[in-house]
């Protein structure tokens, strides 16, 4: 009985690309008309309608030149690192890290992070790992963000693996999450790092809390090995990560969504809203950013619910509170400058009064969580 290559490559549908798949994926990207059109609209918003026929071939040629020597996953990471350096210089007032010294090279860690920004959260974690000479993490991303072929290509080139949120029915969902659990387990065993958000979707209200269902998904691979929950979780090197933004580029958009949901009972996303959120998060002003990496969790829990609470306590205590958080919470602090106060008040004043208080409450929530 022969075994096909697809059977040997059991994670082919969800895993990131391997080195030998990089050149073809890049060619598909550069040939993608939607991607080239999107770049043209972003770079030349006023000229694209009249001169698109000239701009698009030039953009395609420039991209070809830019990625001429990109042949491997590491080459892609070098390109991402170059982009991150420019993005940090343009959109932040500095990025700092704590706890990276606790990580060991060659060991696979399961980073469970609070989630505020679709693209930037894992990007900042990976930037810290890269700066320390550690292997960047494989990134969990929902298939709801991969509706366009070019988005799938970009994400899988950048070490992302796919979480099939679109799975329907108990049987299909069980199969999907079992495959995901095994992929994460195998990646960690091989010494790869994994980044995953503590719950599905961003914490739009600023309340960072872990969904026990994600922890139960991790344990599915452990059950196949006849391992109990505690014993298996101790093997995963779970590391809580708190990412703090002084200013969230998506603060007003999130507040508007929460306002509309609370007043009308629902909120309908536009077709390209997720992509627009990604772009806003990348190019928007963030102020200072801090990434706090905790120590691997080994005790203090017996159940998924208890482990979720342990992760929450770690993230809440590690969260770096900025002036924006303290001012939103109405707390007095001698460390806050007049300039910081004016900056925060100006940002709040620029928002629609209907959802201004919601945005302010979002900035205040990490203070409440840390104090409680």
In eight-state DSSP terms, residue 334 is T
Q: What is the pLDDT of residue 7?
A: 47
Q: Which residues contact 3 (CB under 8 A, 6 or more apart)?
A: none
Task: Mark out the alpha helices in 133-204 (DSSP H runs).
Answer: 149-157, 170-189
Q: What is the pLDDT of residue 259?
A: 97
Q: What is the pLDDT of residue 107?
A: 96
C-alpha–C-alpha distance, residues 78 and 85, integer Å: 11
Q: How many residues does the chain have?
A: 372
Q: What is the pLDDT of residue 1?
A: 42
User: 121 with 243: CB under 8 angstroms?
Assistant: yes
What's the pTM value of the predicted model, to 2 decimals? 0.93
Q: What is the pLDDT of residue 5?
A: 41
User: Whose structure tokens read 């739009």?
Assistant: 204
User: 304 with 228: CB under 8 angstroms?
Assistant: no
User: 98 with 290: CB under 8 angstroms?
Assistant: yes
User: 114 with 202: CB under 8 angstroms?
Assistant: no
Q: What is the pLDDT of residue 8?
A: 55
The structural domains of the chain, ordered by start, are 73-371 (3.40.1130)
Convert the pLDDT of each residue in 156-198 to its tens digit: 999 999 999 888 889 999 999 999 999 999 999 999 999 999 9
Across the chain, which has 372 residues, the per-10-residue mean pLDDT values are 53 96 95 87 81 88 92 96 96 98 95 96 97 97 89 94 91 95 97 97 96 98 97 98 98 96 89 81 96 96 98 98 97 89 97 97 98 90
Q: What are 113's strand-pairing partners?
A: 197, 241
User: How many other C-beta atoms can be found within 10 angstroms of the C-beta atom of residue 97?
Assistant: 18
C-alpha–C-alpha distance, residues 170 and 52, integer Å: 47
- Rounded to 5 degrees, φ, ψ at 98 are -140, 145
């Amino acid at each position: 009985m022969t075994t096909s290559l697809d059977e040997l490559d059991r994670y082919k549908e969800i895993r990131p690309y391997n080195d030998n798949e990089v050149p073809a994926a890049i060619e598909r990207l550069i040939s993608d008309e939607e991607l080239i059109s999107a770049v043209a609209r972003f770079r030349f918003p006023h000229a694209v309608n009249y001169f698109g026929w000239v701009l698009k071939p030039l953009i395609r040629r420039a991209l070809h030149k830019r990625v001429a020597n990109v042949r491997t996953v590491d080459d892609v990471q070098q390109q991402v690192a170059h982009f991150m350096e420019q993005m940090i210089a343009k959109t932040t007032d500095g990025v700092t890290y704590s706890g990276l010294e606790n990580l060991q090279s060659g060991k696979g860690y399961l980073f469970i992070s609070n989630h505020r920004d679709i693209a930037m959260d894992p990007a900042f974690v990976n930037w810290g790992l890269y700066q320390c000479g550690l292997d960047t993490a494989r990134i969990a991303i929902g298939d709801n963000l991969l509706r366009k072929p070019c988005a799938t290509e970009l994400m899988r080139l950048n070490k992302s693996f796919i979480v099939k949120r679109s799975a329907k029915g108990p049987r299909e969902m069980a199969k999907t999450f079992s495959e995901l659990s095994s992929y994460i387990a195998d990646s960690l065993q091989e010494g790869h790092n994994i980044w995953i958000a503590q719950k599905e979707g961003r914490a739009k209200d600023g309340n960072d809390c872990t969904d026990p269902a994600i922890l139960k998904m991790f344990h599915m691979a452990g059950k196949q090995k006849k391992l109990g929950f505690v014993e298996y979780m101790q093997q995963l090197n779970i590391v809580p990560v708190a990412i703090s933004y002084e200013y969230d580029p998506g603060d007003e958009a999130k507040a508007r969504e929460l306002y509309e949901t609370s007043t009308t009972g629902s909120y309908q996303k536009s077709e390209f809203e997720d992509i627009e959120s990604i772009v806003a998060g990348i190019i928007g002003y963030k102020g200072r950013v801090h990434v706090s990496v905790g120590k691997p969790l080994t005790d203090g829990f017996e159940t998924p619910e208890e482990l979720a609470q342990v992760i929450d306590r770690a993230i809440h205590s590690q969260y770096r509170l900025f002036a924006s958080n303290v001012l939103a919470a109405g707390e007095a602090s001698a460390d806050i400058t007049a300039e910081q106060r004016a900056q925060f008040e100006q940002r709040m004043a620029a928002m629609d009064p209907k959802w201004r208080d919601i945005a302010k409450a979002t900035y205040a929530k990490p203070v409440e969580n840390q104090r409680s």
